Structure 1
């Protein structure tokens, strides 16, 4: 029975891989691995574009799936491997273990997963370091993104490893030390995030996507994410809570996808930094990945192209 289950899993993985390889990504190559740390073991897969040359630094994107997904499904949903081939970056997709969470959610509510060197953040950081050891990665251009539970974990990575991740993008996530009942002031979580950064504190640029009709993550949560990061980044600038970065947008622009959804794009700036925080509130969108492949249950092709927008945001925000 065990051998049969292993064989079936191998077949399913092969099928998922086949479906997840876009035609335009055929000239690069995929890689697969397993990382073991004190907090457990996690599989991962990734993609190296055809333009990669050893010795020439290339950006790295760490992409985290949501609940009931796996790394292959998230690759298919987002098209990040194809985008990596097109735009010239390495992407790695850590895979949550069903042994750690039967629904394959990243376990962001656990206290051990809120701190550097512990739990799942340490495993993802370990996978990141493993990829860095195998390829020539631009250390100033390492980024993290995710959807839902993966979004929350991406935010945690920004707080726990600000010296590693230059910027993060979050789709339908919540603030650091997420308060589901929204009983705490997000400024409190912002200060907690700054304290967690410690001596590594720096202003981390953050991009947020949220659907206005999301039945899983209340749309108002996006405002809490912005408020948390505004406080964290403000304190990280100079250690003073002086409003250099705040949750008041300097720019609010309406946009639309031809034949698709409308959205509001808000930009929050810092002194001499340009945009630090950005929010896309997408009208009528549910708990889905904006612009994601219709072949996935979580894709919303009528939304703005979250993957392309995310990469543009990341390119504008190397680690300083």
Structure 2
């Protein structure tokens, strides 16, 4: 095992060196892939740079975190983030969990080291984000993070540990910071813990949330715990300022709620999707973990992101 880890570390450093030596415009209009290595670990990643990219002109970046059992390439296919990136003009990167870190390819959100800035997987994901920023002209005020299931939990953690980096987040079937499946701790306690972690960087990070009512993996009330967490951080109450009832054409009904600050700015949006299981809403009809009858989480998340750069 020690030999394997030394070999992987050496390979990662070699691959990273090659990527650094490559011209920054090499992947314009195409995909890129490499390994990231630091004292916190090694992870692979890949991404898409749209054909509209021009070096020197800042472009938004979306960091997309896959869930358990499926890898980053599968997540790219089923969510359509790369296709949307090409259409709308932003870069997207997909960090990949290592089977050496988790046999089910889950992000290890339950480990203490993965809940704090500068440590564990948050540090690795932030490092991959920095890698993309160092190779392409990224708008520092328009970097976003999204994830599903374990990736959604980690996306939440990323906005708490690095609120100065990620302008907004989209969380699909995730849970609150320091996720407590037993619900012993209140959402307010989660928010207070998040404020301590954010420290001097604390700010309201706009968040859009997605949850199915038939999810047997993540209990549907969990989405309310995330709302409570962010409401505590944002200094607002957890009562929606607006509620609308919608239906996807030939698809699912949903409840869409909006939570605003005193100035009327939207800080939290929540989609509760009737009958949806532990699936990605509105993706391709290509996988049982995707629900094409749900609202288009990818497109609606991007619309939310566009409205929420770092002030």
TM over 0.5: yes
CA distance in 2, matches of 1:65, 1:246: 31
The answer to whether the 8 Å contact 1:54/1:135 transfers is yes
SS of the residue 1:213 aligns to: coil
The answer to whether the 8 Å contact 1:292/1:298 transfers is no
CA distance in 2, matches of 1:298, 1:271: 38
Superposed, 1:238-317 pairs within 5 Å as: 245-272=236-263, 274-317=265-308
- Residue segments in structure 2 that go unaligned for 5+ positions in a row: 1-27
Superposed, 1:85-104 pairs within 5 Å as: 85-104=86-105
Q: What residue number does 1:203 align with? A: 204
Cα displacement string for residues 26-85 of structure 1 (whole angstroms, at most 9, x for unaligned residues): x92000011001111000000000000000000000000000011100000100000000
In the superposition, the TM-score normalised over structure 2's length comes to 0.90
CA distance in 1, matches of 2:126, 2:171: 17
In the superposition, the TM-score normalised over structure 1's length comes to 0.88
Superposed, 1:26-41 pairs within 5 Å as: 28-41=29-42
Superposed, 1:135-150 pairs within 5 Å as: 135-150=136-151
SS of the residue 1:194 aligns to: helix
CA distance in 2, matches of 1:278, 1:186: 17
Q: What residue number does 1:230 align with? A: 231
- Residue segments in structure 1 that go unaligned for 5+ positions in a row: 1-26, 235-244
Cα displacement string for residues 239-272 of structure 1 (whole angstroms, at most 9, x for unaligned residues): xxxxxx1211000000110000010000000122
CA distance in 1, matches of 2:221, 2:111: 23
CA distance in 2, matches of 1:229, 1:266: 14
CA distance in 2, matches of 1:58, 1:298: 30
Q: What residue number does 1:118 align with? A: 119
CA distance in 2, matches of 1:96, 1:231: 30
Q: Compute the displacement of 1:273 (Å).
A: 5.2
CA distance in 1, matches of 2:198, 2:50: 33
CA distance in 2, matches of 1:97, 1:233: 34
CA distance in 1, matches of 2:104, 2:288: 15
Q: What residue number does 1:57 align with? A: 58
Cα displacement string for residues 3-40 of structure 1 (whole angstroms, at most 9, x for unaligned residues): xxxxxxxxxxxxxxxxxxxxxxxx92000011001111
CA distance in 2, matches of 1:185, 1:161: 23
Cα displacement string for residues 265-292 of structure 1 (whole angstroms, at most 9, x for unaligned residues): 0000012251100100000000000001
Q: What residue number does 2:10 align with? A: none
The answer to whether the 8 Å contact 1:31/1:46 transfers is yes
CA distance in 2, matches of 1:57, 1:137: 5
SS of the residue 2:196 aligns to: helix
SS of the residue 2:76 aligns to: helix
The answer to whether the 8 Å contact 1:76/1:296 transfers is no
SS of the residue 1:100 aligns to: coil
CA distance in 1, matches of 2:107, 2:168: 19
